[in-house]
Amino acid sequence: MTAQAGICAEPNLHAHYLMFNILPEGNVSVVNALAKIPALWQELEQEYPDANFSGLVAIGNQVWDELYPNARPTELAAFPAQQQGQRVAPETPFDLFFQLRSDRLDVAYIAVQKVMALLAGIVELKDERQGFRYLDCRDMTGFVDGTENPQGEDRAQVALVQEGRFAGGSYIHVQHYRHKMARWQKLAITVQEDIYGRTKPDNIEYESAQKAPTAHTKRTSLKDAAGNNMEILRQSMPWGTANAQGLVFIACCNTPVNFTRMLDSMFVPDDQGHFDHLTLFTQAETGAAFFAPDQEWLSSKGDIT
């Protein structure tokens, strides 16, 4: 099976993110439209070879069975919402998620317009966000983002289902974070570094013994019962306006379990009351769970035996 290129793509300069809900009676038309997506991705890649374009469409947990009733990814489930006082990671379901990435902003916008034309009259655009590379792949907090990402062939091993009917697909979780920048910028750099567990200018991770139990890198570096690292592939990018800044967080994985465990570790206090203190300086405004099927699944409208 051929995975959608946007799942494992290397970092780009620009991205556009679209969230849609399907209009009443639109399911059949949406399945027919999604069947044209692999050809659209190929068209854009070939027409603008200098842009390093990659596309990704993923189908929401709640609508999957209506679009593809014959088979369902075994682990596809609702977004694992969190609420700990004022620290919240809400579930805000959407039917379709598009990630359109490119090294040329104009090509990303051309892709947006082609997707909008393809889905005209059958979906409603619910959320739109533009992402961009900030400095040397840093988050708007000033720290390098995605340092722990798998590299090379490991990207596919972590991000893609390896066997079965949905091989080549990926479980996708998307959150839009809005940073509390005024509060964050009041902190001394050393305090910021302790919150991350990593130095800011040169991106050197603290030794494990030096990390506070509340450090972001401590709370998100997890192992399973067998001692294996619970990895995800992050495809996140910053967003920003004159008045607000944040992160479009995107997790791609061969199972939703890893992301769920990480979010739990970030938000839920452990037996000593420790949680990820980075959650005190950023607020998740959306949270949705999707599955991004392989290109053949899309083209065949899910009619794969």
Q: What's the pLDDT tens digit per position in 209-234?
A: 999 999 999 999 999 988 999 999 99
**Residue range 161-214, pLDDT digits in tens:** 999 999 999 999 999 999 999 999 999 999 999 999 999 999 999 998 999 999
End-to-end alpha carbon distance in the chain: 12
Rounded mean pLDDT, 40-62: 98
- What percent of the chain clears pLDDT 90, i.e. is strictly above it? 95
Q: Which residues contact 199 (CB under 8 A, 6 or more apart)?
A: 193, 205, 206
- What percent of the chain clears pLDDT 70, i.e. is strictly above it? 99
Residue pointed to by tokens 């809400």: 90
Q: What is the pLDDT of residue 303?
A: 83
Of 228 and 19, the structure prediction assigns the larger pLDDT to: 19
Q: Which residues contact 305 (CB under 8 A, 6 or more apart)?
A: none
Task: Please check the confidence at residue 305 and state whether its pLDDT lies above 90.
Answer: no
Q: What is the pLDDT of residue 35?
A: 98
Structure-block tokens of residue 277: 């203190």
Tell me, yes or no, if 145 is annotated catalytic: yes
How does residue 147 score in pLDDT terms, banded at 50, 70 and 90?
Answer: confident
- What phi and psi, each to the nearest 5 degrees, are found at residue 88? -130, 140
- 218-227 in b/e form (b: 16+ CB < 10 A) is bbbbeeeeee
Contact 198, 219 (CB under 8 A): no
Question: Which residue of the set 95, 139, 145, 276 is catalytic?
Answer: 145
**Residue range 241-278, pLDDT digits in tens:** 999 999 999 999 999 999 999 999 999 999 999 999 99
Task: Please check the confidence at residue 237 and state whether its pLDDT lies above 60.
Answer: yes
Contact 119, 20 (CB under 8 A): yes
pTM of the model: 0.97
Rounded mean pLDDT, 59-67: 97
E-strand spans in 151-284? 170-179, 233-234, 237-240, 245-253, 282-284
Q: Which residues contact 210 (CB under 8 A, 6 or more apart)?
A: none
What is the average pLDDT score of the chain? 96
d(CA 292, CA 298): 9
